[in-house]
Structure 1
Amino acid sequence: MTTAMAASCSLVCCGEENDSDKAVIVRFTNGIINNADKLDFSMYKNTDDRNPRKSSRRIVVAETERLSYVGNNFRTGSMKCNNLCKYYVGVLNKQTMQMEVHSAQLFNMQPVIPGEETVTATAQDMTQTYRDKVDSLIEAFGTNKQKRALSSRRLNQVGSDTLHQAVAKAATSVIEQKGLEVLQQELAESQEDLALHLPPCNAGADEPEDVYPFDDLLSPVEFEALEEAGSKMAALTSEELLKMREEGGCLSVLKFLGNLPSASEARDKTVRCAFYLSMLLNLAHQRSINRKFGQEEGCPRIVQNKLLRTFTVESFKNGRVQNMVSSSMRVKLAAFSLALLLHMGHMTADLTLLHRDLGITEARMIDIAKSMGLTLSRHARGKGDDAGQSEENRQAFLVVPLVKQDKFVETRKRKKMR
């Protein structure tokens, strides 16, 4: 019978479906339902269609004569496997003898016992009533000191409620502007170690070039895609470079474009890296990034996708998902730009020019360089240098073995007792 059924049936894939068209598979936590046919199922969907994160929320309700069951796909009791796997269920159409394959969603049904919430509410009402009774007794029979304390407590409570309302209003405004997920991510990133945003490091490498491998900064496929953009960089004349400098161009990039190597292979690598470095520095000054970033400069699509994927975070704002450059991503951009400059400058980088191009403080730039294990020094610029001034530029060198930086611990002197 199974062979005959298999021979007479055929599978039909229904393709991608909407969330409302998905099949529902339920699992009861308190046991097995004997009479499943007598269950009355209902499904409710979120009405906020403008929010893509809320539009997929569903609540399934199953009612019997004795008990009700509720399951959802967005709260703590929901099944996390829906986000990790895709489930499909086959439905046999007995008329056409075709097995239709539909996408499915799993729900964990939990019983709802009436009266659980009312007990908590009653206890809270009793506590509040007891406080009111005590306050009434103080107002009627309390001493002047007790009455002043009661009046002060009520005034503080009013001020606290007003403060809480103002804070709640401000928090709601910030959440609507930036999105809850981005705020949580920024809080987690602020508590993370700086080393988590550094490029991949091989601290035990014998050669300085292998400590921060070039392929981890720019893969061979991405480097090959920058051929046309690098050629445009190499074709810039001295007048065009001077115009870029006057218009506030990136000094770290102009430094290399003004002194390109004579060898063709080294020259080609320098101009490609210079273009990629200019994209990193421009991205550090952005706040909200759209999908057209870098198109006017001729950035290849594969490099553009790498920048958005590696150095931005997704945020929900005004009903759509946007790519944002958070504070931790700016630290990551600074670290990767510094590693790229080391490969361009024979394991030497100018931190003064870089922190100005990035728009961060010199102290922050030094912290990043120290976290990367670099050796720091100051180098006096001569007359032929970029700024033409006598001030000193701070340089970073990559020397193996890397410098191990100890955390600074502030010590205070005790005051002498007289």
Structure 2
Amino acid sequence: MAGEAGWCYRGDPQEGQSAALVQFSNGKLKSPENMDFTLYKSKDANNPRKKHRRILNAETERLSYVANNFGAGALKCNTLCRYFVGVLDKNSGCMEVYNAELFNMQPLISDYVEDKSLSEYLSKSYREKVDLCIEAFGTSKQRRALNSRRMNEVGKEVLNKAVIKAAEDVIETKGVAALVSDAAVDAKADVSLILPPCHEDADKPEDVYKFEDLISPAEYEALQAPAAIFTNVTSAEIAKMIEEKSHCSFVLDELKSMPLDEKSRDHKARCLWFLDNLVKLSLQRVVKKTFLGPMGPDCPHNISSKLVKTFTVLSYSNGRIHNQVSASMKAKIAAHTIALALHINNFQTDLTILQRDLKLRESRILDIAKAMRLKITKSKGLLGLDEHKMGLLTVPLPVYKMPSVRRKRKMK
């Protein structure tokens, strides 16, 4: 008959003793009896947070393992569960039970931490530990990718430091007030790249946006031949143009009221032909040099060259260089179209018709008109059914204030 057995709870192990349960993160050990374990305790016994810190080290023939009960790598289960180790005395049949902790043993690559403290290695991020593994065991391709990524990080850091240093030098040299002034000048210069040359101190409307800045004398001379279709246009031809929609609405409306004077009629025809091609150009995305889109081969060379160089940007795609009408170029075309329309219509033009021809949003063409310092008014359309926005060029030029940005209230 077997003897009676019992157990006795002893609490924490005595001084010089320890009780630990271990598990290995990368598998199970085949011969655990060949391992040497070493437990390190914190020397700071007075600090209640540090006195219970432990580091457990295990050595095998191939690898070293390490675990700790503090920091990012510590197991959370030690704070949620209690673990015990029992020691059985076979003679008395009594088992002494001690408090214990569970340690998660992880392999340690000792070659890369021999000059660093163990706590520093354990504090590394997962990405840094993976990089160390790639350096030790990675393929050539993985190592090249790692070196490339590290070089990019160094390059970005150097660039950021250089930019910060340059900004500090500029601020120290010029001061904040001067930088704000320069920014305002630069913003004005950016706007002037889109708008035609503006003479703000002009005494007459025709001198604000001079005709010679829109169409040079040589270009005006070259427009005589292609504009002949508008100079001698008949009512039947206008009706056919309206039916075929071969020209923009602004031009078709103006052709109905051509002046009787031969010189004035020729001048208006040239302006309308140039404006019509500006509108057609704005509707293109890519302008081919061989045919120049809607302008056709009959377009004078200096006119087609001026339109392409002034109102398109070079872009590269599919192995070729293209002349592209970008968003900023569409705004530039709209500004020059408005300026030319002002000269045609005695410095008052219907912005709504131009907006529809150019296929722009109303807010967009109104912003361009305000940037050109036009006075915006309202007028009824031809049939009196819709409201049109009119642009009027007057001197002195009106001043528009930038609208204050208000935060939108959320609907409850």
TM-score of the superposed pair, with normalisation by structure 1:
0.52
Which of 266, 274, 279 is the equivalent residue of 1:281?
Answer: 279
Q: Partner of 1:228: helix, strand, or coil?
A: coil
Distance 1:398 1:134 in 2: 81
Which of 380, 391, 406 is the equivalent residue of 1:396?
Answer: 391
Q: Report the alpha carbon displacement of residue 143 of structure 1 after superposing the two structures with TM.
A: 2.6
Distance 2:321 2:408 in 1: 52
Q: Report the alpha carbon displacement of residue 297 of structure 1 after superposing the two structures with TM.
A: 6.7
Structure 1 residue 201 and structure 2 residue 198: aligned?
Answer: yes
Q: Contact conserved, 1:200 with 1:212, CA < 8 A, in 2?
A: yes
Task: Report what 1:214 is aligned to.
Answer: 211
Higher alpha-carbon deviation: 199-208 or 248-257: 248-257
Distance 1:213 1:220 in 2: 12
Distance 1:245 1:256 in 2: 12
Distance 1:231 1:221 in 2: 17
Q: Report the alpha carbon displacement of residue 278 of structure 1 after superposing the two structures with TM.
A: 0.7
- How many residues in Structure 1 have an aligned counterpart in Structure 2? 242
Q: Report the alpha carbon displacement of residue 307 of structure 1 after superposing the two structures with TM.
A: 0.3
Q: Contact conserved, 1:229 with 1:298, CA < 8 A, in 2?
A: yes
Q: Report the alpha carbon displacement of residue 255 of structure 1 after superposing the two structures with TM.
A: 1.5
Distance 2:231 2:363 in 1: 33
Q: Which amino acid in 1 is paired with 2:354? A: L
1:58-93, CA deviations, whole angstroms, 9 ceiling, x for partnerless residues? Answer: xxxxxxxxxxxxxxxxxxxxxxxxxxxxxxxxxxxx
Task: Report what 2:321 is aligned to.
Answer: 321
Q: Report the alpha carbon displacement of residue 195 of structure 1 after superposing the two structures with TM.
A: 4.1
Structure 1 residue 375 and structure 2 residue 346: aligned?
Answer: no
Residues 344 and 320 of structure 1, relative CA distance in 2, 3 Å threshold: same
Q: Which amino acid in 1 is paired with 2:218? A: V
1:170-218, CA deviations, whole angstroms, 9 ceiling, x for partnerless residues? Answer: xxxxxxxxxxxxxxxxxxx999844431000101011110000000100
Which of 249, 270, 285 is the equivalent residue of 1:251?
Answer: 249
Q: Which amino acid in 2 is paired with 1:302? A: N
Q: Report the alpha carbon displacement of residue 262 of structure 1 after superposing the two structures with TM.
A: 1.1
Higher-Rg member (1/2)? 2
Q: Contact conserved, 1:352 with 1:362, CA < 8 A, in 2?
A: yes
Q: Partner of 2:275: helix, strand, or coil?
A: helix
Mapping 1:50-89, distance limit 5 Å: none
TM-score of the superposed pair, with normalisation by structure 2:
0.53
Residues 214 and 141 of structure 1, relative CA distance in 2, 3 Å threshold: same
* Ranges in structure 2 where 5+ consecutive residues have no aligned partner: 1-65, 80-103, 105-122, 131-185
Mapping 1:47-196, distance limit 5 Å: 141-143=74-76, 193-196=190-193
Residues 143 and 334 of structure 1, relative CA distance in 2, 3 Å threshold: same
* Ranges in structure 1 where 5+ consecutive residues have no aligned partner: 1-132, 158-188
Q: Contact conserved, 1:195 with 1:371, CA < 8 A, in 2?
A: no
Q: Report the alpha carbon displacement of residue 257 of structure 1 after superposing the two structures with TM.
A: 1.1
Structure 1 moving runs of 4+ over 6 Å: 137-140, 189-192
Q: Report the alpha carbon displacement of residue 246 of structure 1 after superposing the two structures with TM.
A: 3.0
Q: Report the alpha carbon displacement of residue 310 of structure 1 after superposing the two structures with TM.
A: 0.1
Q: Partner of 2:377: helix, strand, or coil?
A: strand
Distance 2:253 2:338 in 1: 14
Q: Which amino acid in 2 is paired with 1:219? A: S
Q: Contact conserved, 2:196 with 2:336, CA < 8 A, in 1?
A: yes
1:356-410, CA deviations, whole angstroms, 9 ceiling, x for partnerless residues? Answer: 00000111010000000001111223xxx3xx34222211110001111110003
Task: Report what 1:230 is aligned to.
Answer: 227
Q: Report the alpha carbon displacement of residue 320 of structure 1 after superposing the two structures with TM.
A: 1.6
RMSD of aligned residue pairs (Cα, Å): 3.5
Task: Report what 2:402 is aligned to.
Answer: 407
Distance 2:338 2:196 in 1: 10
Q: Contact conserved, 2:277 with 2:295, CA < 8 A, in 1?
A: no
Task: Report what 2:306 is aligned to.
Answer: 306
Q: Report the alpha carbon displacement of residue 236 of structure 1 after superposing the two structures with TM.
A: 2.7
Q: Partner of 1:239: helix, strand, or coil?
A: helix
Residues 191 and 321 of structure 1, relative CA distance in 2, 3 Å threshold: farther
Task: Report what 1:360 is aligned to.
Answer: 360
Q: Report the alpha carbon displacement of residue 341 of structure 1 after superposing the two structures with TM.
A: 0.2
Q: Contact conserved, 1:234 with 1:257, CA < 8 A, in 2?
A: no
Distance 1:343 1:234 in 2: 17
Q: Contact conserved, 1:190 with 1:328, CA < 8 A, in 2?
A: no
Q: Report the alpha carbon displacement of residue 411 of structure 1 after superposing the two structures with TM.
A: 3.7
Q: Contact conserved, 2:205 with 2:393, CA < 8 A, in 1?
A: yes
Distance 2:340 2:243 in 1: 25
Q: Contact conserved, 2:375 with 2:393, CA < 8 A, in 1?
A: yes
Q: Partner of 1:227: helix, strand, or coil?
A: coil
Task: Report what 1:270 is aligned to.
Answer: 268
Tell me which of the two structures has the higher relative contact order, counting C-alpha pairs closer than 8 angstroms and 6 or more residues apart: 1
Which of 280, 286, 290 is the equivalent residue of 2:288?
Answer: 290
Q: Partner of 1:399: helix, strand, or coil?
A: coil
Task: Report what 2:341 is aligned to.
Answer: 341
1:89-113, CA deviations, whole angstroms, 9 ceiling, x for partnerless residues? Answer: xxxxxxxxxxxxxxxxxxxxxxxxx
